[in-house]
Amino acid sequence: MSLALRVGLFVASLAVITPAIRVIYVSFEARSHVKQFLASAEQVKADLEVLTRQSHELISNATEVSRRVSEQLDQVETVVRTVRQWADRADRIVESVGSAIEPPIFTPVRNVNIFRKGASAFLQALLHFDKHNRHNANSQQEGEDGHV
């Protein structure tokens, strides 16, 4: 075999071997990257499972709290309705008692007020009449004193 043929075969074998080595190297790199990606994906999957479980627990707890709040609101509504009925009854009782007690109490008060107004008017009329008589008597005396 000639030297040129040997060199040609060597170069040809290098031309085939070099890309093959590169493909093998890239395959190993890709395999390690895929392994890292799969490990990350497994970690994300585990984290998502925990997150999903916690979300379900949270939703369950929120549903339970909502149910309890609804029950307590129903109970508060019942209490408010009962208190409103009691207040209405108390208003009716106060109205009944007031209508039964007011006339006997306010009648004497009204009579005293009427008497006070009447006495006040009488005294004012008496005092006004007395002043009027004095004024007339004084003007008559001055008139008699001035004519003499």
Given a cut of 70, whether residue 134 has pLDDT beyond it is no
- DSSP run (H or E) holding 115: helix 3-147
**How many whole angstroms separate alpha carbon 113 and alpha carbon 107?**
10
- Percentage of residues in the chain having pLDDT higher than 90: 47
Distance between alpha carbon 84 and the CA centroid of its chain, in Å?
A: 22
What local confidence, expressed as pLDDT, does residue 148 receive?
A: 45
| pLDDT tens string 63-73 | 999 999 999 99
**How many whole angstroms separate alpha carbon 48 and alpha carbon 55?**
10
- CA-to-CA separations, 33 to 21, 25, 28, 48, 110, in angstroms, rounded: 18, 12, 9, 22, 105
Q: Which pTM does this prediction carry?
A: 0.44
